[in-house]
């Protein structure tokens, strides 16, 4: 993932499949500055407070359930120069994630990447489960990016699958579970960084505690509500092209949180034959 070097007190951010990136450049003469940068439809915010001595980065969780946040920091002329932090945030909780100290002379800069995921505790994926393809049996769609895809299915997203399909295609639950979060108010999308926080999504918690994620959905295209219990094969949404997307498609992956390293990992899944 590319990082950018920026002028003092400026910032750049993006999100892709629960992934954020920040890159900042400063001198030791920087004035005090505070920023609040939000993702996931303003549900998780990073609060950065800086002065000429360094910076403090906190995170705020506005979801009604615990979240896992991981932050990996690297920098120049700072202490620490590299560090990874993984933290649990309760509903409504604000927590300091990392503090850095600028060295006494010269320019200093830092970059950080972060992942976000619902905290699933000690959930373990049930590998014996057979998933249903998330579209009707009468339909067939090509995979535009499979597991370990070079474009974006790497690291925590290694086992994600993208199906190319027209906007408005029916999306079915690949597995039964409970809806825990959704967004459907965005109509913006495209292959540009400006759209990386604009995707509509649906998260379903499975019986084993893992989360099924359906991304890039159509505006007003979710037909279930938070708290609904859905059955495998039930109509849950319509596909779209929102968020960072080069063409209409459905992104699907199953994931669980981690207590160390990245906030989450995806799981390989097996689909029942038709």
Q: Are residues 167 and 252 in the same domain?
A: yes
CATH number at residue 95: 2.60.40
CA atoms 101, 102, 103, 109: torsion sign: positive
Q: What is the share, in percent, of the chain residues with pLDDT greater than 70?
A: 88
Does 1 fall in a domain? no
Asked if residue 234 belongs to a domain, the reply is yes
DSSP SS3 for 239: strand
Share of the chain above pLDDT 90, in %: 68
> Mean of the pLDDT values across residues 229-248?
93
Please state, in angstroms and rounded to a whole number, the distance separating the CA atoms of residues 105 and 222: 53
Is the pLDDT reported for residue 205 higher than 90?
A: yes
- The 8-class DSSP code of residue 259 comes to S
Same domain, 142 and 265: yes
Domain encompassing residue 32: 13-118
Burial code of 40-55, b = ≥16 C-beta within 10 A, e = fewer? bbebbbbbbebeeebb
End-to-end CA distance of the chain: 37
Check whether 17 has a pLDDT greater than 80: no
Distance CA 87, CA 188 (A): 31
Average pLDDT (40-53) is 88
CA-angle at 28, arms to 87 and 23, nearest 5°: 45
Within a domain: residue 172? Answer: yes
Classify residue 93 by its DSSP letter. -
Close Cβ partners of 271 (under 8 Å, ≥ 6 residues apart): 130, 131, 132, 133, 174
In a domain, 139, yes or no: yes
Cα–Cα distances in angstroms (integers) from residue 36 to residues 11, 29, 45, 83, 93, in the given order: 11, 22, 6, 22, 15
At which of 118, 140, 174 does a domain end? Answer: 118
Based on the fold, state whether residues 180 and 223 are members of the same structural domain.
yes
User: Residue 234: is its pLDDT beyond 50?
Assistant: yes
Q: Are 57 and 71 in contact (CB under 8 A)?
A: yes
Query: Are residue 213 and residue 143 in the same domain, yes or no?
Result: yes
Please report the pLDDT score of residue 113 as a whole number.
Answer: 85
Mean pLDDT of 44-70: 94
> What is residue 73's predicted lDDT score, i.e. its pLDDT?
94
Q: Which two tokens stand for residue 215?
A: 């991304």
Q: Is the preceding peptide bond at 80 cis, omega within 30 degrees of 0?
A: yes
Asked whether residue 4 is assigned to any structural domain, the reply reads no
On the question of pLDDT at 3 being above 50, the answer is no
Of 83, 118, 153, the last residue of a domain is: 118
Q: Report the distance separating Cα 196 and Cα 90, nearest Å.
A: 25
- Whether 84 is in a domain gets the answer yes
Task: Please report the pLDDT score of residue 65 as a whole number.
Answer: 97
User: Has residue 3 been placed in a domain?
Assistant: no
168 with 112, same domain? no
Q: Are residues 60 and 193 in the same domain?
A: no
State the pLDDT confidence band at 32, using cuts at 50, 70 and 90. low
Most confident of the ranges 15-19, 139-143, 197-201: 139-143
- Is 141 part of any domain? yes
- Report the C-alpha gap between 214 and 146 in whole angstroms: 15
- In the three-class reduction of DSSP (H, G, I as helix; E, B as strand; rest coil), residue 195 is classed as helix
129, 175, 236 from 272: Cα distances, Å: 9, 11, 19
Choosing from 90, 118, 146, the residue where a domain stops is 118
Same domain, 65 and 141: no
User: Do 114 and 246 fall into the same domain?
Assistant: no
Q: Are residues 135 and 260 in the same domain?
A: yes
Q: Domain count of the chain?
A: 2
- Residue 84: per-residue pLDDT: 95
pLDDT-derived band at 263 (thresholds 50, 70, 90) equals very high
Query: In terms of domains, do 111 and 140 share one?
Result: no
């Amino acid at each position: 993932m590319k990082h950018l070097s920026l002028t003092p007190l400026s910032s750049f951010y993006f999100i892709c499949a629960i992934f954020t990136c920040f890159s900042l450049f400063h001198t030791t003469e920087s004035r005090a500055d505070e920023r609040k940068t939000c993702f996931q439809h303003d549900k998780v915010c990073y609060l950065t407070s800086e002065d000429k001595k360094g910076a403090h980065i906190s995170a705020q969780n506005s979801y009604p359930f615990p979240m896992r946040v991981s932050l990996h920091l690297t920098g120049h002329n700072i202490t620490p120069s590299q560090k990874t932090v993984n933290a649990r945030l309760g509903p409504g909780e604000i927590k300091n994630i990392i503090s850095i100290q600028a060295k006494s002379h010269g320019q200093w800069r830092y970059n950080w990447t972060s992942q976000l995921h619902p905290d699933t505790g000690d959930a373990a994926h049930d590998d014996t489960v057979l998933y249903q393809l998330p579209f009707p049996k009468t339909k067939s769609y090509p995979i535009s990016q499979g597991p370990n895809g070079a474009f974006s299915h790497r690291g925590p997203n290694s086992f994600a699958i993208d199906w190319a399909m027209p906007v408005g295609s029916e999306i079915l639950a690949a597995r039964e579970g409970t809806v825990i979060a959704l967004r459907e108010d965005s109509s913006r999308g495209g292959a540009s960084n400006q759209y990386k926080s604009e995707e509509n999504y649906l998260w379903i918690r499975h019986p084993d505690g893992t989360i099924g994620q359906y991304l890039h959905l159509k505006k007003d295209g979710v037909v279930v509500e938070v708290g609904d219990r859905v059955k495998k094969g039930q109509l849950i949404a319509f596909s779209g092209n929102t968020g960072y997307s080069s063409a209409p498609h459905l992104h699907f992956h199953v994931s669980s949180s981690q207590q160390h390293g990245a906030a989450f990992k995806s799981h390989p899944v097996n689909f029942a034959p038709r």
